[in-house]
Chains A and B, each alone.
Chain A
């Protein structure tokens, strides 16, 4: 493939939305109330819409007839490049929300930079996504504050979720070889530059929510290189089920 770095770079971005969208999709109809149910479904819907734009572009870059669905649903476990954070399970609403906020805060900063990409398609996609993700971030940060500064029970639950998920945040700022190549070409976002602003902002929200900012310095990584947690296999089993059971059909 001529543009392999660009192809891998797009997958690195889109797989986060794909896997997070899939996780949120599990919850549809099971939310704590109708309003949050609608909001989580809506976020999932936005994320899959974004995934389609990215994968349609990636298909063009690949230039071998691969469709958005082939890319989304017919890769092997080790070929998914999402960060570990987004594949973490919906243990309870605190984990769902904590995961969402820790990702949204990053996602928004990332898209702001991606808008400046010299690749016009990526810049246009970022421009479209940023409106949606601003809403996601407002929703999740508001809920962090509600749960943190709500009841003793909600505070304990969201604190536990943030503490457990914290170890997956550092990976957001790691770079793969494709990332580095794309940054050098002015196409990609240098995520290492976002790290301080991210932790500052996240700490601000956690403090406003009367929560403790975790102090742990132990982090996990691997997702960007296809080394995932055990959760991913099950996510893919559902995501890929139809395409695997009924190959080469139109739906």
Chain B
């Protein structure tokens, strides 16, 4: 294809996106669009899968049968999200095995928040309330993103995430209204998860390398700082309902901006965790790689069995 032809295709492509048309797997797309989407969708899928670990770690210890059932269902939903996000990603011409390989080798990233440990039962509440809460803020705009399979997957994901967020809030509410010991457990979880949740919305706009292009492709509708502000403004009143204190002495309502001012985020910590040196990075990867390696003979057996079955069927047909 000549350079001119490519330019013309690119122009048409940009116009389609501007008209809010969906791009489908068989449509022509710029290579950069394809690559950016593989990066973002797979990162999202990996986050779901790694995100199963901190919560999965509490399934056997959930305090009641009702909570155990709800937690199992939640972690199962996350596996389901991973499944349809990987499928959406595969429509861009990359296999799930390749994507796993990128995760396991450290080439692909996942949400840094899952590199923090889930230490007490209240963390199940805080993760649902704050982490899923921040995820929803990130994800709702993606229901209208330009790439069709991703947008459709996100509609399903968002419905379930908002259910998880309410479930997390409800765990916190029960603790906050419980015994002093329970309330203390809830406050401690909020103290530990608050700042990492703010970091989840990504680096500040001046440090975010992908924002501009992503906004153009509607992979992003608001900047990281806007999303973070939205999250804080929405969450502070919820903390008030719980009677818990957000661990930020500089948090203050700004009448003029009609928003909360908040304290400085420790970006050194953020980058340390992103670069692989958070409290749980090594353990999370060890768990994922371990499960994959231990499962190899099982996957091989399934393949071999399917092949044998197919061969038998063909023989019968002859």
Using CB atoms and an 8 Å cutoff, list the residues of chain A in contact with chain B.
22, 25-26, 28-38, 41-42, 44-45, 48-49, 51-52, 55, 68-69, 72-73, 92-93, 145-147, 149-151, 153-154, 157, 238-239, 241-243, 246, 249-251
Using CB atoms and an 8 Å cutoff, list the residues of chain B in contact with chain A.
49, 52-53, 56, 59-69, 72-73, 75-76, 79-80, 82-83, 86, 121, 171, 174, 178-179, 181-182, 287, 290-292, 294-302, 304-305, 308
Beyond contacts A29-B52, A30-B290: 11 other A-B pairs, Cβ-Cβ < 8 A, are A25-B60, A28-B72, A32-B291, A32-B292, A33-B298, A34-B86, A45-B73, A49-B69, A149-B305, A151-B297, A250-B174
Query: A35 CA to B80 CA in the complex, in Å?
Result: 9
Q: Which 4 pairs from chain A and chain B are nearest by CB?
A: A32-B295, A150-B301, A154-B301, A242-B63
CB pair A45 B72 closer than 8 Å: yes
Query: A237 CA to B291 CA in the complex, in Å?
Result: 24
CB pair A249 B179 closer than 8 Å: yes
The SS class assigned to the B binding surface is helix
CB pair A246 B181 closer than 8 Å: yes
Q: Which residues of A contact B61 (CB under 8 A)?
A: 238-239, 241-242
CB pair B300 A151 closer than 8 Å: yes
The SS class assigned to the A binding surface is helix
CB pair B294 A32 closer than 8 Å: yes
CB pair A242 B121 closer than 8 Å: yes
CB pair A146 B302 closer than 8 Å: yes
CB pair A33 B295 closer than 8 Å: yes
Closest to B53 in A: A29
Given A150-B302, A250-B178, CB of A41 within 8 Å of CB of B76: yes
Query: A151 CA to B305 CA in the complex, in Å?
Result: 8
Query: A55 CA to B296 CA in the complex, in Å?
Result: 39
Q: Which residues of B contact A68 (CB under 8 A)?
A: 65
Query: A73 CA to B66 CA in the complex, in Å?
Result: 12
